[in-house]
Chains A and B, each alone.
Chain A
Amino acid sequence: MKSENHLLRGARRLDLETLAEIYDQYSPGLYRYAMRLLGDAPLAEDCVSETFSRFLRALHAGGGPKEYLQAYLYRVAHNWISDHYRRNKVPLTLLDEAAAVDDGTDTLQAVEISLEQDRVRTALRLLTPDQRQVIVLKFLEGWTNNEVAEAMKKTEGSVKSLQHRALASLKRILLSESK
């Protein structure tokens, strides 16, 4: 796997081979990230597509990342998702929604998983964008504090502080609901 700096050099030249490599390397993670937050495959694909499109346009405009390509791409995806959240109101009812009843055990289990995912997504939406990004990158994507800090252009101290507040909020939202 080529280094990020090497990939960025090729990307700035709009070298197609390098760009294809970048897409192959980062698209699955970005999709996973978007899917976890959005819970909608076509929407997650839109997010990935738009993220790479914005990346290209930024490169073409002489902008784009100087380093930390992965962090940059996740930041763009994060902004896209935050914009999407702003445009679409939080479906608060999901928090109280009762599980659907179905005869088939597998289907019932799938519905339960789906509802649980919706609850967690809704709770994440109730966090601030920064808190949400910290939680997802750190606890779902398994990034280190340093990597999260790079993605968010913040210090590690800020990331830890955001994490602390985010977890407190999540506990309040999710664990009090389940009592």
Chain B
Amino acid sequence: MNDKQSLDPRLRAKLKSLETLPERDPQVVEDGRAKFLSQAQSLAAPVSVAGDRRHNTWMKSKFTKKESRSMLTTLASLLIALTLAFGGAGATVYASQDSLPNDFLYPVKIISEDLQLALINDDYDEFTMLHSFTQRRWGEVNALLNQGEVVPPETLTRLEYQIASMFSLAAGLEDAEMEGALKQIQTMLQQGEKALTRAGQQDQILDQSGVMEGATEMLHHQHRVVENALEDQNAFRERFDSAGNHPGEYPEKTPGAGNENGAQQGNGQQDDGICYDLDAEDVLTLCVCEGDPDRIPDPDDELCILVPIMDSPGPGPGTGGSGSNGSGNKP
């Protein structure tokens, strides 16, 4: 090879010293191979078998008891309690999962998402779930545009923060996982761009062109972030690690959260004056915290009610559906 021939002979001799390597231990090779195939086998197994992986750390938390039943069931109970707290006796929890940003039950949907995210301790699982929720946001934006309705700026802001959170989570993943995560974000952004372009060709969004321009610009910016990240993963990791956004943590307060109808943040606080806390005994404390955003829900407080979390009889509310608005710090 020409390059090799042009290599300085003294340098070639130096590099050649690295060609002498001790023999590899066959037993270690065999063990490594077995470990690799075992991991492959476990990944190839049905999702339900991987339950141990998904909630390992969570099981060690104060919520240990709840692992004995499904997350969805617990969530159903929580949402029932929250629905009661909102005073909407006739509203169903299930309906909230299909609500759009301007709907009354939309905050319930947002809280349910925040709760689900809060109960995950694995960065990769959290990324996957957040990715799913962010796709919902796009679904909501699409649905609103198709209906000729205005997309609230809060929804787009939340969308932006969710994508930023996905970047933070991705930056905390192993290299190969990070690459997969970035590609998922890239695909999602491409779909978002297409949706906005499509919508831009319709008359109905003329009255909100400013908002949509902002969304398009935001998308382009994030697209560039992904492209740069795929080019240089280390720089991306350093940037998002030093940005102070620890993977999985939302900003102090997520913009775009909530609307005039109600709930917003997780972390036990909502801007509609309701705060909540789930204790180790599976009792949900719901309190009126209006005027005191820092208030910690206290079960002995007369402004609080205690709601034991029970298994609901039916299946939990679907997590699919459309939109949400509002936002969430993680409880």
**Interface residue ranges, A against B (CB under 8 Å):** 14, 16, 19-20, 23-24, 27-28, 31-32, 35-36, 41, 45, 48-50, 52-64, 76, 79-80, 82-83, 113, 116-117, 119-121, 123, 129, 135, 138-140, 142, 144-145, 153, 163, 167, 170-171, 174-175, 178
Contact = CB atoms under 8 A, between A and B. Distances in A.
Contacts of A62: 180, 183-184
Contact of B41 (A16, A23, A24, A79): A16
Contact of A36 (B11, B18, B44, B233): B18
Nearest to B35: A49
Contacts of A171: 8, 11
Given A56-B39, A56-B40, A60-B43, A27 B180 contact: no
Nearest to B12: A139
6 contacts: A36-B18, A41-B24, A56-B40, A63-B177, A170-B14, A171-B8
| Most chain A beta-carbon neighbours within 10 Å: one of B33, B36, B179, B231 | B36
A27 B4 CA distance: 25
A53 B33 CA distance: 11
A61 B183 CA distance: 10
Contacts of B4: 139
A28 B33 contact: no
Summarize B's interface: helix, strand, loop or mixed: helix
Contact of B14 (A27, A50, A82, A120): A120
Contacts of A121: 18
Contacts of B1: 142, 144
Contacts, number: 133
Given A52-B36, A129-B234, 19 more contacts: A16-B37, A16-B40, A19-B37, A35-B21, A36-B19, A48-B32, A49-B35, A53-B36, A54-B174, A57-B174, A60-B43, A62-B183, A63-B184, A120-B14, A120-B15, A120-B18, A139-B15, A167-B8, A178-B10
Interface string B163-191: 00000000000111101110110000000
A138 B11 CA distance: 14
Contact of B37 (A20, A80, A138): A20
Interface in B4-34: 4, 7-8, 10-12, 14-15, 17-22, 24-25, 28-29, 32-33
| Most chain A beta-carbon neighbours within 10 Å: one of B4, B19, B35, B176 | B176
Contacts of A49: 32, 35-36
B300 interface: no
B44 A16 contact: yes
B180 A64 contact: yes
A56 B174 contact: no
A41 B25 contact: yes
A139 B7 contact: yes
B33 A27 contact: yes
Contacts of A35: 21-22
Contacts of A57: 43, 124, 174, 176-177, 180
A139 B123 CA distance: 39
Contacts of B36: 19, 23, 49, 52-53, 56
